[in-house]
Structure 1
Amino acid sequence: MATKFLVKALEELGLVSLWSSTLDVKLLCAQRFVRLFAYGGSTLILVAYLSELGISKEMIGLFMTLTLIGDTVISLVLTLFADGLGRKAILALGAALMAMSGVVFALSTNQWVLLVAAIVGVISPNGNEIGPFRAVEESTLAHLTPTANRGDIYAWYSLIGTAGTAVGMVTSGWAIQYMRSNLKWDVLRSYRMVFWGYAIFGIIKFILSITLSKNIEAEKKPAPTEDTETAPLLGDGSEEAETKKSYFRSLIPDISAESRIIVVNICILFMLDAFGSSLAPQSWVTYFFHDKFGLGEGKLGSLFFVTSIISAISMLLASSIAKRLGNVQTMVFTHLPSAILLALIPIPSSLPVAMLFLILRACTQSMEVAPRSAFLAAVVLPNERTAVMGVINVAKTSAQSFGPLITGVLAQHGLFWVAFVTAGTLKAIYDIGFLAIFVGHKTYDDRAEEERLAEEEESLREGEDPDER
C-alpha cells in the first residue's frame, strides 16, 4: 500500500517521467541550470555594476533596451536556422559566446564594448531567457519526449532553471559580501569576479552542449523527387541558382497556414505580457529593494533565493493541476494573482510588507511556465516547433526591449512605482485575453488522439459479427 502511494506521488510530481527520460533530456536540463545560475548571479548586480561605472539610470535603461533589441535579431537568425544547421552546433556556439561576454564584462569599463558583449553573449537584464537557447531546447525536449510526459518534463526543465537562478543569486550575493567584508575588496573588483564566474559557467555549458548525441537533431525533410518521365533532358541553365536558393530555403521550416494564425494570436498576447514583465525585470526589482530599503547584496541574494525556490516548487503543482484543468486554465488561474501582487509591491513603505507581496507573488509567478510550454509544443506541428518557438521568443524579446528604458526614466524621476503598477495591469489583461481566445482550443495532439480513438472504434465495429449487430 505504501509503495503504491509512493509511486503515485512520484508520478504526480513528474519524477517518474524525468527518471525514465533519455540522457539527452537530462543534459538539456543540466545546461539550463548552469545557464540560469550564471544569469541569476549577474542579474543581482547588473544595475548596481553599471551604476558603479558612472552610468546614469536612464543610460542603464537604454543599455538594457539595446541589449534586448540586439538579442532579438540574433535569436531570430539562430532559431530559424537551428534545425537546418544543427541544434547541437547552435547550443555550443551560444555557450562559447556566453563565456566570451563574461570575460569582456570582467575586463572592460566602456559601456559600448559592454553593450556589444551583452548582445552577442546574451547577458540577461532580467535573469530570464532572452537568447535562442530556450526555443531550441524546448523544441528538442518535445522531440525527445512522448506527448503524455511532456508536461512533467517541461515542469522539471522550468523548475531546474528557476532553481539555478535562485542558487546563482544567493551565491553571488554572499560571495560579494564575503569579498567586501573579509577580503576588503572594493565594490567594482567584487562585481567583476561575478562576471569571471559567468565566463566559467559558459565553458561548463559548452562542454555539456558538445556531449549531446545526434538524437537531438531535427528529422531531415525528404528532398522532393522529380518525375523522370516528364523531366527535360537538357537543363535551362538555371540549375545552379535554383540549387543555391533551395539550399538556404531548406534550412527554414515551412509553417502551415493554420499554425500561422495561432502563432500571430499567441505572439500578440505574449508581447503584451512580455512588455509588462520588462517594466519590472529582476535586475530593476533587486535594485528597487537595494535603493528603497537599503538591502545589501547578501540579504538581497537570500531574499531572491527564497522567492526563486518558492517559484520552482510551485511548478510541480502546476504540472499536476494542468492534468486536471488543462494547460490554458492552469496558465491563467495561476498567473493572474501574481500579476495583481506585482502591482502592489511598491505601495508599502515598510520592508516586511513589500517582501510579503514579493514572496506571495513568487507562489504563483512561475506556475504557468510548464503548461505554456506544453501548450505551445502541442499547438503546432512537430517540424514547426523550433522555428515557431523561436519566433515567439523573438516577439517577446522585441516587446521587452523598451520596458527597461521606460523604467530607467521613471526611476530617475522618482516614479519607480508606476512601472510596477503598469506591469501588473498589463499582465492581468494578458491573462484574461489568453483565456478568452484559447479556452476551448483543440491542439494538433488533441485532434490526433481523437482521430486515433475514432479509427479504433471504427475497426471494432467492422470486426463485429453482422448477425450480432
Structure 2
Amino acid sequence: MILRWLLPVGTEPSIRPVLVGRALRAFADGYMAILLPVYLLALGFGTWEVGLIASATLLGSAAATLAVGAWGHRVHHRSLLLGAAVLMAATGFAFALGSSFWPLLLIAFVGTLNPSSGDVSVFLPLEHTRLAEAAHGEARTGLFARYSLLGALFAALGALAAGVPDRLVLLADLTRLDALRAMFALYGLVGAMVWLLYRRLPEPQADEERVPPKPLGPSRGIVLRLAALFSVDSFAGGLVVNSLLALWLFQRFELSLGAAGMFFLWSGLLGAASQLAAPRLARRIGLVNTMVFTHIPASLCLIAAAFAPRMEWALGLLLLRSLMSQMDVPARSAFVMAVVTPGERAAAASFTTVPRSLASAVSPALGGALFATGWLAVPLVACGVLKIAYDLALWRAFREIDTQ
C-alpha cells in the first residue's frame, strides 16, 4: 500500500525494488556516516587518518562510477546492481574484521562506504537511469522526489541507530569496539538484503525495447558544464560530510553519541519532509530556481552555525539548513535527465556524478586537517561560501533553459 502511494501515476511498477533498495542502503549509510569516525578513533587513528579514509571512500566511488559510465552500457543494469550489492556486503564484513590503517584505507577505496549525507555510490547512476526510464514528464520529477525522500527518511532512521553501540555495551556486555564492529557487520547484512531484493528486477529479454545507450553526443556541452558546477558543490559539501560534521559537534560541544544520533535523525527527517515540496515548487518556479533559491539560505545557516556561541543555536541553525538544503536533490536529478537525449542518460548520470565524487573525495581530508589544527569554523564557512558561489553560477548559466 505504501509503495503504491509512492509511485506517481504512470510509473512502471517494476521500479519498486529500486525504491526499497534505496531505503535500505540509506538506513545503513545513515548510521555509518556517524559511526565511521567513532570507529576509526576507537582503533587509535587521528583526525587526519579519519579524513583520509573518508576521502578514499569517495574517490573509490568516483572510480567505480566512471567505469559504469564508460563500460556499463555493455552489461544490463540488473547485473551491475547485483554486483554492487555484493560489494556492499563484502565492504561491511571486511571493515568489521579490520583494524590496521592501510588495509582499511584500501577497503574504503574499493568498497561502498558513504561518509556523506547524500548518495555518492556506484548505485546512483544505475538507479537514476532506471528511474528515468520508468516515468516521463512531471511524473519523473515526482518519482525522483520519492526516491530522494526514501533516502533522506531512512538515512534519518539510520542516524538514530548510531546510538545502538552504546546500548549494546550496556545490555550485551560488549566492549565499545566490538559493538562498533557489530554495526559494520550489520552493514554487510544490509548489502546481502539489497542483493536479494535486486534479484527481483526484471531480467534482460532478447526482444526488450530500449533506447540503445550511447556515449555523450549532442548533450556533451551541457553535461560538461553541469559536471563542472556540480564539482564545486560537491567539493564544498565534502568539507562537512556527516562524518566530519559529527566530528565537529563532538569536538566543539562534546556532544554525546546518542545526542548526535538524535540530531542527525531530525536533520534527516527535515530533509526528507522538504523533498515532498520539491516537485510542487519546481512546477511553479522551475527546476533551476528550485535548486538555487532553496540552497542559498541553507548555506547562510551553515555559515552562521560555525560562529554560534551555544550548542542550542548551532543545532537549531543546522536543522534549519536541513529543512532547505535537500530540495535541490530531486530537482537536480530530474533536470539532468530532462536536458539530455534518452540514449545519453546513462552516460550523463555517470559523468555528472564522477566529477562530484572526485571533488568531494578531496575535501574531507582537507576538512579533517583543518579540524586537527584547531580551525573548527573554517570548513563550515568555506562550505557555505563555495555553495553560494555554485548556486549563483548555476542560475546564471541555466536560467534561460530551465525545464520542469
Q: Secondary structure at the match of 2:306?
A: coil
1:28 corresponds to 2:11: no
Counterpart of 2:216, as a letter, is: I
Counterpart of 2:140, as a letter, is: R
After superposition, what is the alpha-carbon deviation per residue over 1:285-343, rounded to whole angstroms, capped at 9, x for unaligned? 11211222222222111111001001001001111111111111111111111111112
1:96 corresponds to 2:86: yes
Gapped regions of structure 1 (runs ≥ 5):
1-13, 222-251, 447-469
Question: Is residue 65–residue 354 contact of structure 2 (8 Å, CA) maintained in 1?
Answer: yes
Instruction: From 145, 150, 155, give the equivalent of 2:145.
Output: 155
Which runs of structure 2 are paired with 1:354-365 in the superposition (5 Å)? 354-365=314-325
Cα gap change, 1:220/1:18 in structure 2, threshold over 3 Å: closer, same or farther? closer
| Corresponding residue for residue 364 of structure 2 | 404
- TM-score relative to the length of structure 2: 0.94
Task: Give the Cα separation in 2 of the matches to 1:429 and 1:323.
Answer: 25
After superposition, what is the alpha-carbon deviation per residue over 1:19-70, rounded to whole angstroms, capped at 9, x for unaligned? 6533322211101001111111111111111111111111221222233222
Question: Is residue 31–residue 162 contact of structure 2 (8 Å, CA) maintained in 1?
Answer: yes
Task: Give the Cα separation in 2 of the matches to 1:219 and 1:21.
Answer: 16
| Corresponding residue for residue 210 of structure 2 | 219
| Corresponding residue for residue 250 of structure 2 | 290
| Corresponding residue for residue 385 of structure 2 | 425
Which runs of structure 2 are paired with 1:279-428 in the superposition (5 Å)? 279-428=239-388
TM-aligned CA deviation for residue 215 of structure 1? 6.9
Question: Is residue 57–residue 111 contact of structure 2 (8 Å, CA) maintained in 1?
Answer: no
1:435 corresponds to 2:395: yes
1:193 corresponds to 2:182: yes
Counterpart of 2:21, as a letter, is: Q
Instruction: From 197, 201, 208, give the equivalent of 2:197.
Output: 208
Task: Give the Cα separation in 2 of the matches to 1:40 and 1:218.
Answer: 37
| Corresponding residue for residue 144 of structure 1 | 134
Question: Is residue 280–residue 420 contact of structure 1 (8 Å, CA) maintained in 2?
Answer: yes
1:108 corresponds to 2:98: yes
Counterpart of 2:15, as a letter, is: V
The share of aligned pairs that are identical, in percent, is 29
| Corresponding residue for residue 451 of structure 1 | none
RMSD: 2.0
| Corresponding residue for residue 171 of structure 2 | 182
Question: Is residue 79–residue 136 contact of structure 1 (8 Å, CA) maintained in 2?
Answer: no
Cα gap change, 1:206/1:75 in structure 2, threshold over 3 Å: closer, same or farther? same
Task: Give the Cα separation in 1 of the matches to 2:225 and 2:93.
Answer: 40
Gapped regions of structure 2 (runs ≥ 5):
none
Q: Secondary structure at the match of 1:415?
A: coil
Question: Is residue 211–residue 342 contact of structure 2 (8 Å, CA) maintained in 1?
Answer: no
Instruction: From 51, 54, 62, give the equivalent of 1:64.
Output: 54
Question: Is residue 55–residue 362 contact of structure 2 (8 Å, CA) maintained in 1?
Answer: yes
Which runs of structure 2 are paired with 1:214-253 in the superposition (5 Å)? 214=203, 219=210, 221=212, 253=214
1:129 corresponds to 2:90: no
| Corresponding residue for residue 42 of structure 1 | 32
Task: Give the Cα separation in 1 of the matches to 2:137 and 2:379.
Answer: 39
Residues matched between the structures, number = 400
Question: Is residue 10–residue 135 contact of structure 2 (8 Å, CA) maintained in 1?
Answer: no
TM-aligned CA deviation for residue 16 of structure 1? 7.2
Task: Give the Cα separation in 1 of the matches to 2:64 and 2:47.
Answer: 26
Higher deviation after alignment, 15-24 or 404-413: 15-24
- TM-score relative to the length of structure 1: 0.82
Task: Give the Cα separation in 2 of the matches to 1:383 and 1:147.
Answer: 16
Question: Is residue 342–residue 421 contact of structure 1 (8 Å, CA) maintained in 2?
Answer: yes
Task: Give the Cα separation in 1 of the matches to 2:166 and 2:9.
Answer: 38
Task: Give the Cα separation in 2 of the matches to 1:60 and 1:109.
Answer: 13
Task: Give the Cα separation in 2 of the matches to 1:336 and 1:220.
Answer: 37
Cα gap change, 1:16/1:309 in structure 2, threshold over 3 Å: closer, same or farther? closer
Question: Is residue 219–residue 340 contact of structure 2 (8 Å, CA) maintained in 1?
Answer: yes
Task: Give the Cα separation in 1 of the matches to 2:234 and 2:289.
Answer: 19
After superposition, what is the alpha-carbon deviation per residue over 1:122-144, rounded to whole angstroms, capped at 9, x for unaligned? 11121422222111111111111
1:85 corresponds to 2:75: yes
After superposition, what is the alpha-carbon deviation per residue over 1:332-379, rounded to whole angstroms, capped at 9, x for unaligned? 111111111112222112110001111110110101111111111100
| Corresponding residue for residue 76 of structure 1 | 66
Q: Secondary structure at the match of 2:198?
A: helix
| Corresponding residue for residue 165 of structure 1 | 155
For the pair shown, which has the larger CA radius of gyration, 1 or 2? 1
Instruction: From 248, 254, 263, give the equivalent of 2:215.
Output: 254
